[in-house]
Structure 1
Amino acid sequence: MDIETVERYGNKRVHHRGGPSQAAPDRTNNKVCFHWRAGRCNRIHCPYLHGELPQPSDGATFHPQGLVWRNSNASSNPGSTSRWGKGHRGAVSGMSRPHRKVQDKICNYFIGGTCSYGENCRFLHSWFVSESISLLTPLKGHQKGVTGFALPAGSDKLYTGSKDESVRLWDCQTGQCAGVINLGGEIGCMIGEGPWVFVGIPDAVKAWNTQNSTDLSLSGPTGQVYAMAVGNEMLFAGIQDGRILAWKFIAVGNRFEPAASLSGHLLAVVSLVVGAMRLYSASMDHTIRVWDICTLQCIQILTDHTSVVTSVLCWDQFLISCSLDSTVKVWVATDSGNLEVTYTHNEEKGVVALCGMHDAQNKPVLFSSCNDNTVRLYDLPSFSERGRIYSKQDIRAIQAGPGGLFFTGDETGEIKVWKWLNEVPAVPSA
């Protein structure tokens, strides 16, 4: 995919706040001004570039090779339980520099597409505020909210699912839509595992093997399928009626057979994750259930959230959950084996989705998507904020990709391709 930094999509910052430049500076050092990237450079003759460098040829395309970051076996250790959210904000051991607090100076009219001031606007015209990421390109085509991504192994296509009842295939060389599959039902979720793509729709799960063209329809769900996860050679699906259905993969015949129906939740199951031989399920009934993945028995019910639990995430020995009660909770197992909350992070608004990945320096970062159309980026384990992503509507789908790329999809149907920056500026001494 030729993914260039295009100014009309929001990467341009308003950098001549003090008036027009008298003369073009001699920017012979070929470095981009980090203050310009952050939208606050006011030097008339800035010695650095006020524009992104052209993408190198080897960074101009992305080739999906399967998931880079997996919930169940993340390799880095965010820290001991005593360090979650503790200490000086941003000055955490193992993190080389503190991050400045993010100031919300984005033009809301720009986000809504109605700002008439253009470059004369005193607020930032940008889709993000961060020194760690850059926006590469949008992918437009879906007409309703994006609900999932899949990067099947061995394929040169990115798969996206939407509430508009379609799956779109995007060519990784050109960024163009290479195909549309209409399923005749709203897509509640989508995941990829190896060469497989799984799509949750009302009353069924579609399973496609992108290497041998196997096309299966797994029956059993009653109502919308909202969440899926894979573990222990099984596919799990969270259903609108509160059940979790499990299918066992049978290598001979390349098929799936029904294995179990897990009951207990009173309302829809909206998030699933597998980690440390446990299945964790989050529900609209305000609870998280912990299931033994071998016996498929519920071994604990977590009731600390006071509203819909929208997402669960495993990172090493930690479980991270979020809710419409405006909290993100970090759970850790006690000596008895039961999970307890070790840290609670409060947001101003309800949290609708979580995603974890590593930045270009291999530092763990948590994405917390809130229902105020923003995504907060937090360093772990400090929960020090290092950036924000803005969108027209809530972002409910976030996916890490290869080569420092990641993807977001919002409720308008727009997908954005992002990239972690390799070069991070040092904070000037006081």
Structure 2
Amino acid sequence: MGSGSSKRKDKSHLLETLKEHKDSIMCLALTDDSSLLVTGSYDTTACLWSTMSDATECLGILIGHTGRIVCVATSMTFVYTGSEDSTIKKWDICTSDCIFTYSGHVSQVNRIMCAGDFLFSTSYDKTAKVWLQQVNNASTQEEVLVRTFEGHTKAVYPIIFLPGQDTGGVNEEGLKINPSDLVITGSTDTTAKSWALDMGICLKTMQQHTGPVTCMDTGAQGKLLFTGSDDCTVRVWEVSSGRCLRELRGHNEAVTCLKAVQRMLYTGSHDSKVKCWLPESANCTRTFKISTNFGSVTAIQIYKGILFVGYTDDVARAFDAKSGSLKRVFQGHTDSVSCLAVWANKLYTGSSDGTLRVWDVSNISTETSSEESEDELNHHVELDFDLERYLGDDVDQNSKPDE
């Protein structure tokens, strides 16, 4: 199947422009082995793209949703897509066939995530749900629905699963759920909630934000929860107690995304800045700024010590995570960069312009300058704190994109 691509390699480092989608690309995910990339679009389809070949090929188009696709996830040889049509579909990667349609939400599905035997979803209908991944054409909705978490008063968006100590057994329902397995949800009702997966009950409600909770992540040990909000702040919570330990202030507008990398926390905002924090001390160690002030941050990713950032000014940029220097600028989209992933020296950017672009990121750590405007070339990030003695080698040199 053709990819609808135009290929070139020049000083902008653009390798390919892939035009299979007919509307905005809003989400993407790599498969477990990173051999395939899945993109979801407002055109109601998802596309499967090869990542191992020299030229990126469209290997399949997933057709079946009646509303825009807003989230995708992968597990083994399967793809899951969540849609504005209130359903989640499971697809076979090899055949592009729809295996099962999960129906239970009554409004748009906002986020989906795979972990263990389960599929997790959140929705505009104020609930989060847990489903069995193991399904077939004969499965019923009642059989595959494991839990419904009700308690939020507005739409639920980010969701995290924290596995507890593995007991090696099954619960009374015959499910592989450990007593300490936790699910955490964030909502536009300004709260985050932790839930016991085994009992299906809310354990803690974390409520000190004054705006919607837009994004979440956890520390390496799963003991700390980081939440970003429309109220311009990031909060650090103790998961076990639900207690707010710290408030990170510094952004001037809504926090749109965040990523914990070992002892560091990176946050992106509508104010066009990415900030790096030491969560244990609430110190902002560095602010990654661009010369324009109209590019909201849409996505961030750390890969081999490089911070990749997507913006609404139609551009993606790469910074050295340790020194803060601007290493490369990826310019070519005609609308916002909505999502990105990095793998095998290639950056994949999905955009509201409907295209997936593939960029060369090889040798990026050795470059001394970018190809952007003179303004940006001469711009230096703010150094708010002496980062060197704290960061050291903490940036994971082998980190992979979110799956």
Normalised-by-shorter TM-score class: 0.5 to 0.7
Specify the code of the residue in structure 2 equivalent to 1:314. Answer: A
Structure 1 partner of 2:25: none
Gaps of 5+ in 2: 17-28, 36-53, 136-142, 165-180, 368-403
Specify the code of the residue in structure 2 equivalent to 1:156. Answer: T
- Correspondence for 1:259 among 188, 203, 211: 203
Structure 1 partner of 2:79: 158
In the TM superposition, residue 319 of structure 1 has moved relative to its aligned partner by 0.4
- Correspondence for 1:386 among 318, 328, 336: 328
Q: Which has the larger radius of gyration?
A: 1
With over 3 angstroms needed to count, the CA separation of the structure-2 counterparts of 1:426 and 1:242, relative to structure 1, is: closer
> The residue matched to 1:326 in structure 2 has which SS?
coil
Gaps of 5+ in 1: 14-33, 41-49, 51-61, 69-132
In the TM superposition, residue 324 of structure 1 has moved relative to its aligned partner by 0.5
2:225 and 2:33 map into 1 onto residues whose CA distance is: 21
With over 3 angstroms needed to count, the CA separation of the structure-2 counterparts of 1:166 and 1:377, relative to structure 1, is: farther
1:424 and 1:325 map into 2 onto residues whose CA distance is: 26
Structure 2 partner of 1:207: 130
2:94 and 2:202 map into 1 onto residues whose CA distance is: 38
2:252 and 2:219 map into 1 onto residues whose CA distance is: 24
In the TM superposition, residue 190 of structure 1 has moved relative to its aligned partner by 2.3
Matches within 5 A, 1:188-203: 188-201=110-123, 202-203=125-126
Structure 2 partner of 1:236: 184
Specify the code of the residue in structure 2 equivalent to 1:321. Answer: T
In the TM superposition, residue 261 of structure 1 has moved relative to its aligned partner by 1.2
2:340 and 2:251 map into 1 onto residues whose CA distance is: 23
2:93 and 2:357 map into 1 onto residues whose CA distance is: 11
In the TM superposition, residue 317 of structure 1 has moved relative to its aligned partner by 1.1
In the TM superposition, residue 302 of structure 1 has moved relative to its aligned partner by 1.2
Matches within 5 A, 1:1-400: 6=3, 8-9=4-5, 11-13=6-8, 35=10, 38=13, 64-65=31-32, 135-137=56-58, 146-152=69-75, 155-174=76-95, 181=102, 183-201=105-123, 202-211=125-134, 214-216=144-146, 217-231=148-162, 233-250=181-198, 256-276=200-220, 277-333=223-279, 337-347=280-290, 348=292, 349-358=294-303, 363-381=304-322, 382-388=324-330, 391=333, 393-398=335-340
Structure 2 partner of 1:86: none
In the TM superposition, residue 144 of structure 1 has moved relative to its aligned partner by 6.5
With over 3 angstroms needed to count, the CA separation of the structure-2 counterparts of 1:190 and 1:410, relative to structure 1, is: farther
Kept in 2, the 8 Å contact 1:146–1:409? The answer is no
Specify the code of the residue in structure 1 equivalent to 2:263. Answer: Q
Specify the code of the residue in structure 2 equivalent to 1:244. Answer: A
Kept in 2, the 8 Å contact 1:161–1:187? The answer is yes
**Structure with the higher strand share, 1 or 2:** 2
Specify the code of the residue in structure 1 equivalent to 2:92. Answer: D
With over 3 angstroms needed to count, the CA separation of the structure-2 counterparts of 1:236 and 1:204, relative to structure 1, is: same
Kept in 1, the 8 Å contact 2:187–2:212? The answer is yes
In the TM superposition, residue 172 of structure 1 has moved relative to its aligned partner by 2.1
Structure 2 partner of 1:109: none
> The residue matched to 1:350 in structure 2 has which SS?
coil
Q: Which has the larger displacement, 204-213 or 314-323? A: 204-213
With over 3 angstroms needed to count, the CA separation of the structure-2 counterparts of 1:210 and 1:398, relative to structure 1, is: farther
1:417 and 1:256 map into 2 onto residues whose CA distance is: 42
Kept in 1, the 8 Å contact 2:14–2:357? The answer is no
Q: Which has the larger displacement, 134-143 or 270-279? A: 134-143
2:358 and 2:102 map into 1 onto residues whose CA distance is: 25
1:174 and 1:387 map into 2 onto residues whose CA distance is: 37
Specify the code of the residue in structure 2 equivalent to 1:190. Answer: I
Q: Which has the larger displacement, 134-143 or 221-230? A: 134-143
2:270 and 2:81 map into 1 onto residues whose CA distance is: 25
Structure 2 partner of 1:127: none
Structure 2 partner of 1:22: none
Identity %: 20
Query: Normalising by the residue count of structure 2, what TM-score does the alignment of the two structures yield?
Result: 0.62
Kept in 2, the 8 Å contact 1:146–1:411? The answer is no
1:275 and 1:248 map into 2 onto residues whose CA distance is: 19
1:375 and 1:423 map into 2 onto residues whose CA distance is: 17
Aligned residues: 305
In the TM superposition, residue 246 of structure 1 has moved relative to its aligned partner by 1.0
Deviations, residues 172-216 of structure 1 (Å, cap 9, x unaligned): 224566665564412222222233221110211121221377423
Specify the code of the residue in structure 2 equivalent to 1:191. Answer: M
> The residue matched to 1:306 in structure 2 has which SS?
coil
Specify the code of the residue in structure 2 equivalent to 1:293. Answer: V
2:359 and 2:14 map into 1 onto residues whose CA distance is: 18
Kept in 2, the 8 Å contact 1:225–1:239? The answer is yes
Kept in 2, the 8 Å contact 1:320–1:328? The answer is yes
With over 3 angstroms needed to count, the CA separation of the structure-2 counterparts of 1:166 and 1:278, relative to structure 1, is: same
Instruction: Return the structure number with greater relative CO, CA threshold 8 A, min gap 6.
Output: 1
In the TM superposition, residue 322 of structure 1 has moved relative to its aligned partner by 0.8
In the TM superposition, residue 345 of structure 1 has moved relative to its aligned partner by 0.8
